Structure 1
Amino acid sequence: AYQVFHSGIPITVVPLDATNTIPVTEEFFRAFEESQGTYEAEYCFQSLKTKTAFRSSNQPNTYSYFMWDSFMAGVAVSIMCSSDPNNGENEFAEMEYMNITVITSNKPYGISDGSNPFFDNLEVPKFKLKKDGVHSGHVQTGLRDPFCFVENGIGMCKDGYTMEVTGPDAVQVLVATKAKPNPDIGSKLDRQFFLSFLDVLSRPQHTGRFNLSTEFPYYREVLYKPDFKNKKLGKPVVFDMDMSAGDFVSLFYLLKVPVEVLNLKAILVTPTGWANAATIDIIYDLLHMMGRDDIPVGLGDVFAMNQSDNVFPGVGDCKYAKSVPHGSGGFLDSDTLYGLARDLPRSPRRYTAENAVNLPRQPLALEIWTSILKTMDPGSKINILTNGPLTGLANIITKTKTASLIQDAYIVGGHISQSRHDKGNVFTISSNKYAEFNMFLDPLAAKTVFESGLNITLIPLGTQRKVSQFPEILEKLKLTRMTPEAQFVERLLFKLYTLQQSHHRYHHMVMFCNFLH
């Protein structure tokens, strides 16, 4: 941010101070609800509807949601269309020039305390920065950095603060200060931007070409739930997955086992592994494809044990999760199932935010676990299969005290090294040669599970590596009856194999094949 502000490029800023003056009001919400003449207007309203869960405690008839990004877009377009854009003249915001900079470190400057990667342990600072300059102070090291708190608990660090300053570090920037009111005092919409926003979205020109029914012609708002009343169901099983590619292949397999042998009661998602939490929609789609919309799906903790913030659990540390690549071969590919996710039929069930209005919230893993136990016959127990980090299973043990109701736990993970040449698979951490990802991504959870007294069957990395490799599996798949699910699995495995052969960033693809064990 500092570099952009000091680059010499003319900059216009629409800060939080300005967007805070355009909250979503009850009147705007109702007007928007009545103005949905285009597909894009419908989509934007539904999106807004999921955001406006709470009303503001400070302003009556307003929601605790503001027109942040759309207001900035409106201001920018209006300035570009203005006859005098240099002065920032526009329809929607009052503007003024200010001299500001972006704070990158905290006083005192020039004192090395181990927090600043631009200076610490370097003879020459990075980016040719001055040793005693504004970048040479303390850099906030975490959410609870003790340097940043004074005795009364108020934070004093200013990393990222856009401060109004004077002197050589100041940059003249055009700043929006507040939203302009609607000059029509008789209108229910009290901001000028509200009028333009609704008008633009409702214009027939350049309107959206597709809606859900044309984009997904086979989509039906129908849930497929099989009737097992006349069947003797097999062993009750809960599948805990982290949504890696191998997990989805495993899920196909579990769904193909006759229910008289294995009764898949629920799926628990552990998003401390190879995919982000929103990938849960792919699970819903896969279950829909297989006609098993009856199986509940619970979302587990996003952070590994003891990694979430004590005060605000919605944020935390990614100490272990940062070992998973964010780009190719990591989160990006897992979240899209390597580009194949959209080939699945679209389920009516979707992930829904916790604060969504008039929509059922996404159930949590422990809620699903508790509800499943209530359906069990007296004296019966349940089996758990885990294909990812053990965060979810550890939470069941520590938070529900129901470990005695678990018959067996089958765990894919761990590495029992037979020699110094027998390495693990955490390929992103060069200093750790022997760890296995499922254990590494939440070691405290793994310790909790192994010390719990559960009856555990472990399938470690050495055993997984004895599974047939991609060429053998793909060859065998071609010889089988090609059901839709077999075709999808073949496409996915072929994609992984092709990527592994063509680019070094995908050398680890075989480990997803190993999870089929």
Structure 2
Amino acid sequence: MNVSRGKPVIFDMDMSPGDYVSLIYLLKAPREVIDVKGVLVNGNGWANIASIDIVYDILHMMGRDDIPIGLGNTTAMGNPTLGCNNAYAIPLGSGGFIDSDTLYGLARLLPISPRRYTPESSDDPEHRQSLASEVWQSVKRQLGPGDKITLLTSGPLTNLANISLSDSDASSVIERVYVVGGLITDEGHEKGNVFTVPSNKYAEFNMFLDPLAAKTVLESNLNITLVPLTAQRKAASFESVLEALEQTQQTPESVFVQELFSLLKELRSKEKLYHHVDIFLGEVLGAVYMVQRSDLKSTVMLKGISVVANTMKSTDGQIVISNQSTKLVHVLSDFNGEIYYELLANSLANKKQSAIIASFEEQKAIWSRPPDNSGPKHTKFL
């Protein structure tokens, strides 16, 4: 069956818990509207590069083994001689790398994909992990006449910055970039979320992790819509999203998301090390806004901005209003939160484009079935 071509989309993620939910949501979107062509992974975000296996497993669960994954740099732009190394700000233990690598222990519930992360130095170089630049070029080659790529970024902007600098044609085939991240400091006294660097009060984590990349992208000629921390916080209620999910029918993917959010909520309420995990919940807003923005009753403003990228820990990654800037970005300033939670829950609960293999338990049951040795099947013509 032929599927109508939707908008070609590349999702650029750093494998935080919210990114996995965003990926599932994007795979649930009607393919005649949104067609995910590739996933780029930032190696300098919230998970180690081996966590890419979880991305493979989610794609396998949803029946989308056709989507390539490209791994980007594991360090910020210019690092270590000219840039920063702000990845130290991500906790190594609880609520950080150790939990992201296993998706807080829930990765074991996912079916196992036949595709796995394979480094170039392995004994199987033919199946080595693709690079972000390779997946970008592959998606470009597949574009039809008049097609352009929409990017959703939900992590440091390292991959997109490197693509923009290395591919002179990139801007001509990019229709729009939705950037989940940033906090515009001149709008008020709202604080940022780099909780491990108290001296930096007004930066958002994605921008802080690679401020030079953020400056490169946000001050470029790309058509950018910013989904800032102020908007994300309005979509960061565990109670609201869980209530919305409980009121819908269940699919394997909605059950998985509900288990993840329930676990994060419980950890946040009981353990101090997990006080920050609600920041992952707001990241999903970018995906929902990109797909269903016309239903969100949103307000978007045009603003001239500048990104601070001076390698000073106290100011790196901060975004300020710049009256001298000739570059304007669209900034999501408001939306209907009640509608947002309803849209997210209804999409995850939709039976269309649901999981092909619901869980590892179902996969094991499939593996344990005896082979069908009844011989070739013959069709009886009437």
Alignment partner, residue 137 of structure 2 = 370
TM-aligned CA deviation for residue 365 of structure 1:
0.4
- Measure, in 2, the Cα distance between the counterparts of 1:422 and 1:494: 27
TM-aligned CA deviation for residue 418 of structure 1:
5.3
Alignment partner, residue 212 of structure 2 = 444
Alignment partner, residue 47 of structure 2 = 275
Unmatched 5+ residue regions in structure 1?
1-228, 311-316
Alignment partner, residue 356 of structure 1 = 122
Question: Which structure 2 residues correspond to residues 68-83 of structure 1 after superposition, within 5 A?
Answer: none
- Measure, in 1, the Cα distance between the counterparts of 2:187 and 2:59: 42
TM-score, normalised relative to structure 2:
0.72
Q: Residue 354 of structure 1 contacts residue 362 of structure 1 at CA under 8 Å; is this kept in 2?
A: yes
- Measure, in 2, the Cα distance between the counterparts of 1:452 and 1:378: 25
Alignment partner, residue 200 of structure 2 = 432
Moved over 6 A (4+): none
Alignment partner, residue 38 of structure 2 = 266
Post-superposition CA distance 1:95-146 (Å, at most 9, x none): xxxxxxxxxxxxxxxxxxxxxxxxxxxxxxxxxxxxxxxxxxxxxxxxxxxx
CA, structure 1 residues 280+309, in 2 after alignment: closer, same or farther (shift >3 Å)? Answer: farther
* 2:148 pairs with 1:381: yes
TM-aligned CA deviation for residue 440 of structure 1:
0.4
Identity rate, percent: 57
Alignment partner, residue 463 of structure 1 = 231
- Measure, in 2, the Cα distance between the counterparts of 1:271 and 1:454: 23
Post-superposition CA distance 1:279-323 (Å, at most 9, x none): 10000000000010000000000000001469xxxxxx8720000
Paired amino acid for 1:377: G
Task: Give the match's secondary structure for 2:92.
Answer: coil
Alignment partner, residue 251 of structure 2 = 483
Q: Residue 413 of structure 1 contacts residue 438 of structure 1 at CA under 8 Å; is this kept in 2?
A: yes
Q: Which has the larger radius of gyration?
A: 1
Alignment partner, residue 164 of structure 1 = none
Q: Residue 56 of structure 2 contacts residue 65 of structure 2 at CA under 8 Å; is this kept in 1?
A: yes
Paired amino acid for 1:249: V
Q: Which has the larger share of helix?
A: 2
Aligned-residue CA RMSD (Å): 1.5
Task: Give the match's secondary structure for 1:268.
Answer: strand
Q: Which of 21, 25, 33 matches 1:249?
A: 21
Alignment partner, residue 183 of structure 2 = 415
Of structures 1 and 2, the one with the larger relative CO (CA 8 A, separation 6+) is: 2
- Measure, in 2, the Cα distance between the counterparts of 1:395 and 1:278: 21
Task: Give the match's secondary structure for 1:384.
Answer: strand
Paired amino acid for 1:501: S
TM-aligned CA deviation for residue 414 of structure 1:
0.5
TM-aligned CA deviation for residue 371 of structure 1:
0.8
* 2:89 pairs with 1:323: yes
Q: Which of 338, 359, 363 matches 2:104?
A: 338
Post-superposition CA distance 1:491-511 (Å, at most 9, x none): 000011001000111111110
- Measure, in 1, the Cα distance between the counterparts of 2:187 and 2:195: 18
CA, structure 1 residues 448+318, in 2 after alignment: closer, same or farther (shift >3 Å)? Answer: closer
Task: Give the match's secondary structure for 2:234.
Answer: coil
TM-aligned CA deviation for residue 403 of structure 1:
1.9
* 2:37 pairs with 1:292: no
Q: Residue 75 of structure 2 contacts residue 85 of structure 2 at CA under 8 Å; is this kept in 1?
A: no
Alignment partner, residue 160 of structure 2 = 393
Task: Give the match's secondary structure for 2:264.
Answer: helix
Matched pairs, number = 283
Q: Residue 50 of structure 2 contacts residue 117 of structure 2 at CA under 8 Å; is this kept in 1?
A: yes
- Measure, in 1, the Cα distance between the counterparts of 2:145 and 2:5: 16
Q: Residue 236 of structure 2 contacts residue 279 of structure 2 at CA under 8 Å; is this kept in 1?
A: no
Paired amino acid for 2:97: F
Alignment partner, residue 368 of structure 2 = none
Alignment partner, residue 62 of structure 1 = none
Q: Residue 234 of structure 1 contacts residue 260 of structure 1 at CA under 8 Å; is this kept in 2?
A: yes
CA, structure 1 residues 448+477, in 2 after alignment: closer, same or farther (shift >3 Å)? Answer: same
- Measure, in 1, the Cα distance between the counterparts of 2:184 and 2:234: 14
Question: Which structure 2 residues correspond to residues 215-234 of structure 1 after superposition, within 5 A?
Answer: 230-234=2-6
